[in-house]
């Protein structure tokens, strides 16, 4: 199952993502993107991406308050102490993801 990762919310200033940007993880290991992808985003996603392909977000405590089929994580940039931005990512199985502003895959 492919995953679509979308920038849902940004606190501070992210030099890479805008709200609505997305990238796709195909087959559990192929990163597909028409836009740059920040290494912080990948670091945040790394512990969960394979589990989210085959299970529900609630099993990992990542399910959304309103939509239990989607998972939520955030990048590790401590924007309160840097000039960067913390991005909240919404992760959905392909077919469950809504249209994004700048998408790929």
Confidence of residue 24 (pLDDT cuts 50, 70, 90): very high
Say whether pLDDT at 20 is over 70: yes
Q: How crowded is residue 52: how many other Cβ atoms within 10 Å of its Cβ?
A: 24
Confidence of residue 84 (pLDDT cuts 50, 70, 90): confident
Model-level pTM greater than 0.75?
yes
Q: Where are the domains of the chain?
A: 3-93
């Amino acid at each position: 199952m492919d995953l679509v990762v979308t920038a849902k919310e940004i606190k501070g200033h992210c030099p890479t993502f805008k709200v609505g940007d997305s990238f796709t993880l195909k087959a559990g290991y192929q990163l597909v993107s028409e836009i740059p992808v920040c290494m912080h985003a990948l670091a945040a996603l790394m512990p969960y991406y394979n589990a989210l392909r085959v299970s529900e977000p609630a099993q990992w405590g990542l399910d959304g308050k309103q939509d239990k089929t989607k998972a939520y994580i955030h990048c590790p940039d401590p924007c309160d102490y840097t000039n960067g931005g913390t991005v909240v990512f919404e992760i959905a199985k392909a077919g469950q993801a809504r249209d994004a502003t700048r998408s790929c895959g």
